[in-house]
């Protein structure tokens, strides 16, 4: 009799366990189907071809005389909404402020084309050898690894000419422009692969 009761108990537990497993299985299947449908709808939703990004510059009106060397302020630029939107933001930064933005007090500490040429010719005149051949600062590479953006510029960035305040301003413009994006917590800036080239 006792053996019969135990057998019935085991059968009951197996039945309850099986029912629970079946319920759990179909719940998970339903949840997975919902997630799959949601993913399909998300993938099919129309994305805008262009997107607004922030580009950071110094501003004489907001920070007179560059009292705070690292103070930078955003302007909005419209770029193509694709996988290289971070690169597009830096390329917009390298273009410098527009005429309208300059009238509002914005300026860039990254050397302009005119400054690059002037610095190159000055060094060439003094030393007999040009420090670089190009006429403007170019973005050579940009990659994101473990929350850090590694951004590498051409040697024309050397035309900044030195100075701790100038270096701080350049770093702030580049870093803040990149930190607006998800997964970018820190920024390492290099010139032709040299992470120590941007120094006072």
pLDDT, greater one: 127 or 162: 127
pLDDT class of 199 with cuts at 50, 70, 90: confident
Q: pTM (2 decimals)?
A: 0.75
pLDDT, greater one: 162 or 116: 116
Count the neighbouring beta carbons within 10 Å of the beta carbon of residue 45.
7
pLDDT digits over 51-101, tens only? 999 999 999 999 999 999 999 999 999 998 877 899 999 999 999 999 999
**CA dihedral of 92, 82, 194, 180, whole degrees rounded to 10:** 70
Q: Which pLDDT does position 42 carry in this prediction?
A: 46
């Amino acid at each position: 009799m006792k053996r019969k009761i135990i057998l019935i108990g085991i059968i009951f537990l197996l039945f309850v366990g099986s029912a629970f497993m079946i319920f759990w299985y179909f719940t998970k299947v339903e949840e997975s189907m919902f997630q799959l449908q949601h993913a399909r709808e998300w993938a099919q939703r129309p994305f805008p071809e262009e997107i607004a990004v922030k580009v950071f510059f110094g501003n004489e009106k907001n920070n007179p005389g560059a009292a705070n060397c690292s103070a930078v302020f955003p302007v909005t630029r419209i770029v193509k909404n694709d996988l290289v939107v971070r690169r597009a933001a830096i390329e917009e930064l390298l273009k410098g402020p527009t005429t309208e933005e300059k009238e509002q007090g914005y300026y860039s500490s990254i050397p302009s084309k005119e400054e690059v040429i002037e610095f190159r010719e000055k060094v060439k005149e003094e030393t007999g050898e040009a420090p670089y051949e190009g006429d403007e600062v170019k973005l050579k590479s940009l990659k994101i690894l473990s929350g850090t953006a590694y951004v590498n510029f051409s040697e024309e960035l050397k035309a900044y000419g030195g100075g701790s305040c100038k270096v701080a301003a350049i770093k702030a413009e580049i870093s803040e422009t990149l930190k607006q994006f998800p997964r970018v917590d820190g920024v390492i800036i290099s010139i032709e692969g040299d992470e120590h080239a941007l120094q006072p």
